[in-house]
Structure 1
């Protein structure tokens, strides 16, 4: 599949909620693992800040 088809498919409205949910869950699961290994909450805070910025880019500006 050409890259343009993958990008188009992954950004189409009907795919967006599932794709974004997968991104959020994956980031949080990775942060949880990193937090357990490091015995620190910092990876969770970092993931939260970055996810908040990512999600904010999709909010309507108005």
Structure 2
């Protein structure tokens, strides 16, 4: 849940999504042993904290 939104908690951001929604996401990690894929939505946009600090 932590990779949904830069400004809201995962619990707040998850309310915007429903089962079956089609979303764009970035693959963050693939764990073959556990058969898990970690996805991030907030990574598709720029990091507002890095942009604010001039990075």
Q: TM-score, normalised by structure 1?
A: 0.29
Which has the higher relative contact order, 1 or 2, with Cα contacts under 8 A spaced 6 or more apart? 2
* Greater helix proportion: 1
Query: Radius of gyration: which is bigger?
Result: 1
